Structure 1
Amino acid sequence: MNTHQMQFGWTIEAPKYLSILTNKNGLVAIVSEYATFGDNQSLLITLSETSAEVAVTPHYISSLTISTEKKIKIATSPFYEQQMVEIEKMNSDSQITD
């Protein structure tokens, strides 16, 4: 898990294979490094000083916890996590070493 400090004092904790993109208006997109089943849908959250609103939740997100302490914790589904392990293994097996 990686911890990301966001605007308005929010913190997001997410698995290492998810990338977090944001803009100055508080829009946050959490994107998988890999498309699964051809789907690269993002988790979309709008942050403000007093709230976090979820607009879209993709299939690979199994839970999303938002606390009153401005902390957001994201967990992915076990099936998706297994896919990430297999992809990382395939990538490391294909590397050429001198």
Structure 2
Amino acid sequence: MTKKKEERTTTYELTKGWKINLCDKVDILDNKDGKVAIILKAKNFGNIEPIVIDLSEDAIRIHSLPHFVDSLSFTLDKKIEIVYSPFIFEQEQQ
């Protein structure tokens, strides 16, 4: 039997009215100018490339999107969602 660790999520309120829900396996850095970096805590495969985005009142500009991100989406009510590839967290569970 494999015990699955329960994942906790936290909602972060970012600049310009944007919000994002992130699991406890990532860190987020942001500033008042709308620059955001989202970094994995785990160093799987030695790849620590962050997601880097710029936020404005009505747009998101993506600067860096690592290969282990399946999707990054956003809604008209300023919510950001990131879906990671399942393999990126598999090693932690083994």
- With the shorter chain as reference, the TM-score category is 0.7 to 0.9
Partner of 2:48: 40
Q: Which runs of 4+ in 1 moved over 3 A?
A: none
Letter in 2 for 1:81: F
- Once the two structures are TM-superposed, the CA of residue 29 in structure 1 deviates from its matched residue by 0.1
Q: How much identity, in percent, do the aligned residues show?
A: 35
Partner of 1:68: 76
Counterpart mapping for 1:1-98 below 5 A: 1-86=9-94
Q: Deviations over 1:8-27 (max 9, x none)?
A: 10001122211110112110
Distance in 1, Cα, partners of 2:88 & 2:38: 15
Q: Deviations over 1:6-65 (max 9, x none)?
A: 001000112221111011211000000022211110000100111111111112211211
Counting matched residue pairs gives 86
Asked whether the 8 Å contact 2:15–2:31 carries over to 1, the reply is: no
Letter in 2 for 1:85: Q
- Once the two structures are TM-superposed, the CA of residue 83 in structure 1 deviates from its matched residue by 2.3
Across the aligned residues of Structure 1 and Structure 2, the Cα RMSD in angstroms comes to: 1.3
Higher helix share: 1
Q: CA 1:77/1:9 → structure 2, altered by over 3 Å: closer, same or farther? A: same
Structure 2 regions of 5+ residues with no counterpart? 1-8
- The TM-score with structure 2 as length reference comes to 0.83
Structure 1 regions of 5+ residues with no counterpart? 87-98
Structure with greater Cα Rg: 1
Letter in 1 for 2:28: I
